[in-house]
A and B are shown apart, each in its own frame.
Chain A
Amino acid sequence: RKEVEQDPGPFNVPEGATVAFNCTYSNSASQSFFWYRQDCRKEPKLLMSVYSSGNEDGRFTAQLNRASQYISLLIRDSKLSDSATYLCVVNPSASKIIFGSGTRLSIRP
């Protein structure tokens, strides 16, 4: 079983739609969780950290479910500029940062 698993998509949704991604992780000792965004031929950039209490940043909401070992990302009122690959990232230990396979999102006009 992979350490971090994501639905690869692609998700192709109209502008203004709400879209949600999930990610599961295998190491129950994992302490921190992040969503990164990667545009084509660019480096990954931090989108948001994921906290146990859930957190929101504008149109983006991240949730963590430790019991079921998954994290989620919800994007509301999607924009064309949200088209990218979204990478789930987990720290199974302080030294390691492990990426999920990424979910491709394409927003159409």
Chain B
Amino acid sequence: DTEVTQTPKHLVMGMTNKKSLKCEQHMGHRAMYWYKQKAKKPPELMFVYSYEKLSINESVPSRFSPECPNSSLLNLHLHALQPEDSALYLCASSPSDRVYTEAFFGQGTRLTVV
């Protein structure tokens, strides 16, 4: 199983809503990532979790709140988002943040904030 599964695939939310994005992997990977990708731009790193602890926060606004309940799951809680936060949100995992190796990506959640 080399899959990273993200749900939902599409999400439309209002600026006052609270929603969560979910990511799951069963490859035993110990590093998990959230990326944000706008149209025709490369993915931009948001957060890195290593061994279930937040290791990198790339100065992401607090309206995005990550959570890693266990080694297989990664959530991104969304609250009071702005229309400019509309983007493709990609989750990725890699075996470890201490080993230089490639990351595997989920299919992403396409988020629209209205």
> A residues within 8 Å of B by Cβ?
31-32, 34, 41-46, 49, 87, 89, 91, 94-102
CB distance from B101 to the nearest CB of A (A): 7
Mark out the residues of chain B between 38 and 87 whose CB falls within 8 Å of any chain A CB in the assembled complex. Answer: 41-45, 48, 50, 55-56
- Please report the C-alpha to C-alpha distance between residue A42 and residue B105 in the assembled complex, in whole angstroms: 10
**B106 nearest CB neighbor, chain A only:** A43
Interface of chain A: mostly helix, strand, loop or mixed? strand
A98 touches B104 (CB 8 A): no
> Which of B55, B92, B102, B104 has the most CB atoms of chain A within a 10 A radius of its CB?
B102
> B residues within 8 Å of A by Cβ?
31, 33, 41-45, 48, 50, 55-56, 88, 90, 92, 94, 96-108, 110
Chain A residues, Cβ within 8 Å of B96: 94
Assuming the contacts A32-B100, A87-B42, A101-B42, asked whether A95 and B56 have C-beta atoms less than 8 A apart, the reply is yes
B45 touches A98 (CB 8 A): yes
Assuming the contacts A95-B55, A95-B56, asked whether A46 and B43 have C-beta atoms less than 8 A apart, the reply is no
- Please report the C-alpha to C-alpha distance between residue A18 and residue B107 in the assembled complex, in whole angstroms: 30
B102 touches A43 (CB 8 A): no
Assuming the contacts A32-B101, A95-B97, A97-B103, asked whether A43 and B108 have C-beta atoms less than 8 A apart, the reply is yes
